Structure 1
Amino acid sequence: LAPWLGHLMVSRQETARPLLTPGEVMQLPPDDAVVMVSSVAPIRAKKLRYYADANFKRRVLPPPPLADG
Protein backbone atom coordinates (compact mmCIF):
# COMPACT_ATOMS: atom_id res chain seq x y z
CA LEU A 1 0.00 0.00 0.00
CA ALA A 2 1.05 3.54 -0.54
CA PRO A 3 2.09 5.21 2.71
CA TRP A 4 -0.36 8.13 2.28
CA LEU A 5 -3.34 5.74 2.44
CA GLY A 6 -2.47 4.47 5.91
CA HIS A 7 -4.76 1.69 7.06
CA LEU A 8 -8.01 3.17 5.80
CA MET A 9 -10.14 0.81 3.75
CA VAL A 10 -13.51 1.69 2.27
CA SER A 11 -15.94 -0.81 0.76
CA ARG A 12 -19.49 -0.57 -0.52
CA GLN A 13 -22.02 -3.33 -0.86
CA GLU A 14 -25.63 -3.41 -1.99
CA THR A 15 -28.03 -5.81 -0.32
CA ALA A 16 -31.59 -6.64 -1.25
CA ARG A 17 -34.33 -5.82 1.23
CA PRO A 18 -38.10 -5.35 1.12
CA LEU A 19 -39.22 -1.86 0.14
CA LEU A 20 -41.13 -1.72 3.41
CA THR A 21 -40.54 -4.10 6.29
CA PRO A 22 -43.54 -5.31 8.32
CA GLY A 23 -42.45 -2.95 11.12
CA GLU A 24 -42.38 0.01 8.73
CA VAL A 25 -45.86 -0.86 7.47
CA MET A 26 -47.14 -0.88 11.05
CA GLN A 27 -45.58 2.56 11.60
CA LEU A 28 -47.07 4.20 8.51
CA PRO A 29 -48.81 7.48 9.28
CA PRO A 30 -52.61 7.18 9.74
CA ASP A 31 -53.14 8.95 6.40
CA ASP A 32 -51.06 6.43 4.41
CA ALA A 33 -52.10 3.05 3.06
CA VAL A 34 -50.62 0.19 1.05
CA VAL A 35 -53.00 -0.87 -1.72
CA MET A 36 -52.56 -4.43 -2.95
CA VAL A 37 -54.36 -5.76 -6.01
CA SER A 38 -53.60 -9.09 -7.66
CA SER A 39 -51.22 -8.93 -10.64
CA VAL A 40 -50.22 -5.34 -9.76
CA ALA A 41 -47.28 -4.12 -7.70
CA PRO A 42 -48.29 -2.70 -4.27
CA ILE A 43 -49.01 1.02 -4.21
CA ARG A 44 -48.31 3.37 -1.31
CA ALA A 45 -51.14 5.87 -1.26
CA LYS A 46 -52.72 8.60 0.82
CA LYS A 47 -56.08 7.74 2.36
CA LEU A 48 -59.00 9.85 1.25
CA ARG A 49 -61.32 10.73 4.09
CA TYR A 50 -64.58 11.24 2.18
CA TYR A 51 -66.27 12.75 5.24
CA ALA A 52 -63.55 15.40 5.57
CA ASP A 53 -63.27 16.38 1.90
CA ALA A 54 -65.77 18.99 0.71
CA ASN A 55 -65.84 17.46 -2.80
CA PHE A 56 -66.97 14.10 -1.43
CA LYS A 57 -69.21 15.26 1.43
CA ARG A 58 -71.87 16.27 -1.10
CA ARG A 59 -71.91 12.73 -2.50
CA VAL A 60 -72.50 10.97 0.80
CA LEU A 61 -76.04 9.65 1.09
CA PRO A 62 -77.89 9.81 4.39
CA PRO A 63 -78.17 6.45 6.17
CA PRO A 64 -81.34 4.46 5.39
CA PRO A 65 -84.14 4.70 7.97
CA LEU A 66 -84.25 1.93 10.55
CA ALA A 67 -87.19 -0.44 10.34
CA ASP A 68 -89.41 -0.59 13.41
CA GLY A 69 -90.03 -3.91 15.06
Structure 2
Amino acid sequence: MPYAAGSPYRPMAPPGRADLMFGLSELALILLVVAVVVGIKKLPELTRSAGKAARIFKSEAKALKEQDRA
Protein backbone atom coordinates (compact mmCIF):
# COMPACT_ATOMS: atom_id res chain seq x y z
CA MET A 1 0.00 0.00 0.00
CA PRO A 2 1.46 3.40 -0.93
CA TYR A 3 2.10 5.89 1.84
CA ALA A 4 1.61 9.64 1.96
CA ALA A 5 4.68 11.77 1.39
CA GLY A 6 6.38 12.74 4.63
CA SER A 7 4.51 10.22 6.77
CA PRO A 8 5.54 6.58 6.47
CA TYR A 9 2.68 5.44 8.72
CA ARG A 10 -0.25 7.15 7.03
CA PRO A 11 -1.63 5.38 3.94
CA MET A 12 -2.63 7.54 1.00
CA ALA A 13 -6.33 7.96 0.30
CA PRO A 14 -7.60 6.48 -2.97
CA PRO A 15 -7.69 9.02 -5.80
CA GLY A 16 -10.82 11.16 -5.73
CA ARG A 17 -12.02 9.85 -2.36
CA ALA A 18 -10.15 12.27 -0.07
CA ASP A 19 -12.42 15.17 -1.05
CA LEU A 20 -15.58 13.29 -0.10
CA MET A 21 -14.68 12.36 3.47
CA PHE A 22 -16.12 14.56 6.19
CA GLY A 23 -15.70 14.19 9.91
CA LEU A 24 -18.39 14.72 12.49
CA SER A 25 -17.15 18.22 13.32
CA GLU A 26 -17.24 19.30 9.66
CA LEU A 27 -20.79 18.00 9.22
CA ALA A 28 -21.92 19.76 12.40
CA LEU A 29 -20.40 23.01 11.19
CA ILE A 30 -22.09 22.68 7.79
CA LEU A 31 -25.46 22.01 9.45
CA LEU A 32 -25.00 25.03 11.72
CA VAL A 33 -24.23 27.30 8.76
CA VAL A 34 -27.25 25.96 6.85
CA ALA A 35 -29.48 26.57 9.89
CA VAL A 36 -28.29 30.16 10.20
CA VAL A 37 -28.53 30.92 6.47
CA VAL A 38 -31.89 29.25 5.85
CA GLY A 39 -33.41 30.15 9.16
CA ILE A 40 -34.70 27.94 11.92
CA LYS A 41 -38.34 28.26 10.78
CA LYS A 42 -37.60 26.93 7.27
CA LEU A 43 -35.40 24.04 8.47
CA PRO A 44 -38.18 21.39 8.87
CA GLU A 45 -39.44 22.13 5.35
CA LEU A 46 -35.90 21.88 4.01
CA THR A 47 -35.27 18.52 5.70
CA ARG A 48 -38.57 17.14 4.39
CA SER A 49 -37.73 18.14 0.84
CA ALA A 50 -34.19 16.74 1.17
CA GLY A 51 -35.60 13.42 2.40
CA LYS A 52 -38.09 13.31 -0.45
CA ALA A 53 -35.31 14.03 -2.96
CA ALA A 54 -33.18 11.27 -1.45
CA ARG A 55 -36.05 8.76 -1.73
CA ILE A 56 -36.65 9.70 -5.37
CA PHE A 57 -32.93 9.41 -6.14
CA LYS A 58 -32.75 6.01 -4.45
CA SER A 59 -35.76 4.67 -6.37
CA GLU A 60 -34.39 5.95 -9.69
CA ALA A 61 -30.99 4.37 -9.00
CA LYS A 62 -32.72 1.08 -8.20
CA ALA A 63 -34.75 1.29 -11.42
CA LEU A 64 -31.59 1.88 -13.44
CA LYS A 65 -29.88 -1.13 -11.83
CA GLU A 66 -32.89 -3.32 -12.66
CA GLN A 67 -32.94 -1.96 -16.22
CA ASP A 68 -29.24 -2.83 -16.66
CA ARG A 69 -29.85 -6.39 -15.50
CA ALA A 70 -32.61 -6.93 -18.07
TM-score by length of 1: 0.23
Higher relative contact order (CA 8 A, sep 6+): 1
Q: Which has the higher helix share?
A: 2
Q: Which has the higher strand share?
A: 1
* Higher-Rg member (1/2): 1
TM-score by length of 2: 0.23
